[in-house]
Amino acid sequence: MRFDELDLEESVLQGLDAMNFRETTPVQELTIPVILKKRDLIACAQTGTGKTAAYILPLLNLLIKEKPAKDAIRAVIVAPTRELAQQIDMQFEGFSYFLPISTVVISGGGDGASWDQQKRGLNMGADIIIATPGRLLSHMKIMNIDFSKVQYFILDEADRMLDMGFYDDIMQIGKSLPVDRQTILFSATMPPKIRQLAKNILRDPVEINVAISKPNEAIVQSAYICYEPQKMGIIEDLFQKPSGSKTIIFASSKLKVKDLAYTLKKKKLKVAAMHSDLEQSQREEVMLDFKNNKIDILVATDIVSRGIDIDSIGLVINYDVPHDPEDYIHRIGRTARANAEGAAITFVSEKDQSKFHRIESFIGREIDKAVLPEGLGEAPEYAPEKRRGSNYGRRGSKHGDNRGRGRADRARNEHSKHFRKKTDNNDSVSGNDESQGSYPKNKKRYYRPKRNTNNDTGKKD
């Protein structure tokens, strides 16, 4: 379906046209009409399906059709991380370029100046608040925020927020908003705790399910069955030649991320680390360098496994097997975005075999096992049914399990095959993913005032 077939205002379509958005994704096609009818909604859609635009566009449409309340907050969007909150704001900036709509990002990690900027935005009554739960509650405890004109309450990545322990915070924020409001909940998965949350804060919601917790078919998945000391040898083999695309390596702990990034830097690779010990300004600098191709490899904890939209990531490596199968889905979902292709490789040590087998069961198929590079010695037998810590018995062949060898070997080179061209610093994308369009990358914004749209340039006052 085309966007101009939806009941969207001309000024919203004008912004879509300027950003080269034409066709809707399935989640956009299903959810936008429901939101425009002001129905409460619970939507299950994995990352990379265009879910952010699925609520931004109808929200903008509703706001501009209604008579604006002067200096009043009209919509509250809650997201699990500051990075996602800032990305949502950047997308609002793109979509609302021709609209008199203001936003304020309320998130932690900044200095005293950022706190003052957020407070000023709240007092001035920005149309839309985009907040992390903890920081918004901090402001609510100190100052009396006027939520009386709020008509829309949106929860993005609700399952992630509950995993992070924000259930009570979300409920407290919800109770501070008017009862007569429209509530929209987006989640990548639909566990019982999400249904309980929806029951408590939504009224007679429409439920939409799109591509629930299944990997993108464009991702070529493979795994190396290996011993822990063999992992670095595999990394060295993978990066013997420039890949021509970006890579994210996920590790299980901050310490391992730091050590791995340090080791790869010593090998003259363009690497940076991303973890929760970094200050907000440091995180933003790392992400900007990654987007603008100043670094090729990002070594990270799960802090970037959800909600981070970076184009031309050709390869995702799970240095450690993630604890939950759903985390695996989110990690590898960083590649093959915007109708591109990509590869995901997982290193499976002996102690992680049971966890990896659960992932295979969760996605409903066996992931192909790649052959260890020459010179790394024997690989352990893949025997996930045996108890963790037991003797794994017979060793595999010198090069490990050869099942699915052709497809697995193809995965090793997928990132170089499909991503020969470096992207420019604008990081623009065409297609139907939520990472579409062109957004300014170098601005650090906490409060974006309304635009004066009476002039011909569309520039800020």
Q: pLDDT per residue over 15-31, tens digit each? A: 888 877 888 888 899 99
pLDDT at 376: 95
Neighbours of 149 (CB within 10 A): 16
Q: Distance between CA 408 and CA 429 in Å, rounded?
A: 28
Q: Distance between CA 326 and CA 317 in Å, rounded?
A: 16
Q: Write out the two tokens for 186.
A: 């987006």
Q: Distance between CA 333 and CA 412 in Å, rounded?
A: 17
Quote the distance between the C-alpha of residue 355 and its chain's center: 23
- Mention every residue, 6+ apart, whose C-beta is less than 8 A from residue 345: 221, 222, 223, 224, 238, 315, 316, 317, 318, 370, 411, 412
Instruction: Using the predicted structure, report yes or no on whether residue 137 has a pLDDT greater than 70.
Output: yes
Q: Write out the two tokens for 79.
A: 């997201």
Confidence of residue 51 (pLDDT cuts 50, 70, 90): confident
DSSP letters of 36-55?
HTT--EEEEE-TTSSHHHHH
Q: Are 83 and 176 in contact (CB under 8 A)?
A: no
Nearest to 307 by CA among 158, 162, 198: 158
pLDDT at 308: 65
Q: Distance between CA 455 and CA 461 in Å, rounded?
A: 10
Say which range, 99-108, 381-390, 407-416, has the weakest mean pLDDT.
407-416
Q: Are 338 and 271 in contact (CB under 8 A)?
A: no
Q: Distance between CA 54 and CA 82 in Å, rounded?
A: 20
pLDDT at 316: 96
Q: Distance between CA 221 and CA 359 in Å, rounded?
A: 12
pLDDT at 238: 93
Q: Which domains does the chain have, with CATH numbers?
A: 3-212+434-448 (3.40.50.300), 219-418 (3.40.50.300)
Backbone angles phi, psi at 219, to 5 degrees: -90, 120
Nearest to 81 by CA among 136, 171, 194, 161: 161
Q: Are 167 and 155 in contact (CB under 8 A)?
A: no
Confidence of residue 296 (pLDDT cuts 50, 70, 90): very high
User: What are the tens digits of pLDDT across the range 388-403?
Assistant: 444 433 333 333 444 4
Confidence of residue 455 (pLDDT cuts 50, 70, 90): very low
pTM above 0.75, yes or no: no
Long-range contacts of 364-367 (CB under 8 A, 24+ apart): 366/403, 366/404, 367/221, 367/222, 367/223, 367/404
Backbone angles phi, psi at 216, to 5 degrees: -60, 130
Confidence of residue 227 (pLDDT cuts 50, 70, 90): very high
pLDDT at 259: 94
Look over the chain and give the mean of its residue pLDDT values, rounded to a whole number. Answer: 81
Confidence of residue 212 (pLDDT cuts 50, 70, 90): low
Whether the CA torsion 44, 49, 55, 58 is positive or negative: it is negative
Backbone angles phi, psi at 414, to 5 degrees: -60, -40
Please list the residues that pair with 76 across neighbouring strands. Answer: 129, 153
Q: Distance between CA 18 and CA 73 in Å, rounded?
A: 27
Give burial (CB, 10 Å; 0-12/13-18/19+) of 86. buried
Q: Write out the two tokens for 177.
A: 């908003």
Nearest to 309 by CA among 282, 269, 336: 336
